[in-house]
Amino acid sequence: MRTRFSKLLAASSVLSLCLLAGCSANNQTKPIEFLHTLPDGQGMVKVSQMVQKWNKEHPDTPVNATKFDSGLDELIKKLELDVKASTAPCLAMMGYNEIPGVYTKSLVQDVTKEAKKYQGNYSPSAVSMTGVDGKFFGLPTDTGPLVYFYNKTAFDSLGIKPPSNISEFRQIGKVAAAHGKYVADFEPDESPYWFSPQAMAAGDKWYRIKDGRWQVNANSEGAARVSELWQGLLTDKAALALPRWDDRFKKALREGKLIGTVGGAWESPLLAEDMEKTKDKWAIAQLPDLGAGPVTAPDGGSAVVVMKGCKVPQKAMEFANWFNTNVDDLASQGLVVAAKKRPKDDPQLNAFYSGQSVVGTNKEAEARMVAETYFIPGYDTVAEAIKRKAGEVAEGSAPVSEIFSTAQSASVRVLEDQKLPVQK
């Protein structure tokens, strides 16, 4: 404690703090600081509880977890200031899309040697997003492979099945439209992290580094196939154009108007909650083949990375692997874990999805994810440009194809504005 009323109080305070932190007998062990962004909601196993388990099992490597609630943009600002002040935590949780940016700003440590010890425990696609240009900075926590959620009750009534390719998607859309129902929703608010994985699942690789230069390929053949699909669904009046996080989206689900939606696997409990009072049963199908085979790509996800200045990267990575493979506790937080180890099924969630194993379906999707799906530094700026263009598409004032041409031009501009080399 900072206030010393007596020598006895001071000594007892130090001892108390040391016991709480799990200090060694010589009082030299300091806790590894871990900044996380998980919700820690009601009914979830909180991160502090997970850390208590670790500290009990590893008294010589104590960890202190702190929850950050102010959003990813503020998180990166805080970490940048902390690194400059040499007060950054050893470990921090962040979205995969943030990793290229913090790497460019030299905010993270290259822990490739340590990472390789543990990478076999995780989805290869998720692993690929924890590094840039062959360097790795941490380990993956969760991911969100795109899947297709559908109202099984409505589909059975209409005599249709979930689509396995673009052609079938268009066909079932027309059948549903004839009955005043929609098999999909075009989501302008989710577009930056919704269209990029669709294009990747269609065969494109938006970003790569070759010979020290960034390559941008956001408007290629895969993008053309995805554009054709969504333009067709909108033209056929088979897709709504509602923001994903708008109450109108929930209303359309509850009323049985919207009977299908493409989304990250992490949405499964959220959709079930939105429709908990409906009588219809839903199910989850794998993402249709968008032209590159039966694959999918990630919509969201996060990793635990080692920050610059961490004095014990080896021990920090040992904890990161323990934390990220603590699958049942992480699943309680609503995560689709990136670890290969399978968490327990949730019987109540399975019941909503027609008795289907949601965990099993998500794991199948995870195994189908393409690799090398990282973003570029400054993608948040690109995302805003994509979102504006998607808004125009939703209003009917722009074609879907312009989302991808916007992504291409905005990406090149953002990289050049940061003085980063771009291959043209």
248-275 pLDDT tens trace? 999 999 999 999 999 999 999 999 999 9
By C-alpha distance, which of 136, 62, 142 is closest to 100?
Answer: 136
284-323 pLDDT tens trace? 999 999 999 999 999 999 999 999 999 999 999 999 999 9
Architecture of domain 146-298+351-418: 3-Layer(aba) Sandwich (3.40)
pLDDT for residue 333 is more than 60: yes
pTM of structure: 0.91
**Domain segments of the chain as ranges:** 32-143+301-344, 146-298+351-418
By C-alpha distance, which of 125, 205, 133, 206 is closest to 371?
Answer: 125
> In angstroms, rounded to a whole number, what is the distance separating the alpha carbons of residues 246 and 290?
27
Confidence of residue 167 (pLDDT cuts 50, 70, 90): very high
Confidence of residue 55 (pLDDT cuts 50, 70, 90): very high
111-161 pLDDT tens trace? 999 999 999 999 999 999 999 989 999 999 999 999 999 999 999 999 999
**Exposed e or buried b per residue across 321-339, where buried means at least 16 C-beta atoms within 10 angstroms of its C-beta:** bbbbbbbebbbbbbbbbbb
> In angstroms, rounded to a whole number, what is the distance separating the alpha carbons of residues 168 and 161?
9
- Class at the top of the CATH hierarchy for domain 32-143+301-344: alpha beta
pLDDT for residue 8 is more than 80: no
> In angstroms, rounded to a whole number, what is the distance separating the alpha carbons of residues 169 and 383?
27
Q: Is the dihedral of CA 47, 53, 55, 60 positive or negative?
A: negative
> In angstroms, rounded to a whole number, what is the distance separating the alpha carbons of residues 198 and 128?
17
Residue 325, classed as helix, strand or coil, is coil
Decide whether 32-143+301-344 matches 146-298+351-418 in CATH topology: yes
End-to-end CA distance of the chain: 58
On average, the pLDDT of the chain sits at 92
Q: Which of 155-159, 276-280, 391-395, 406-410 has the lowest mean pLDDT?
A: 276-280
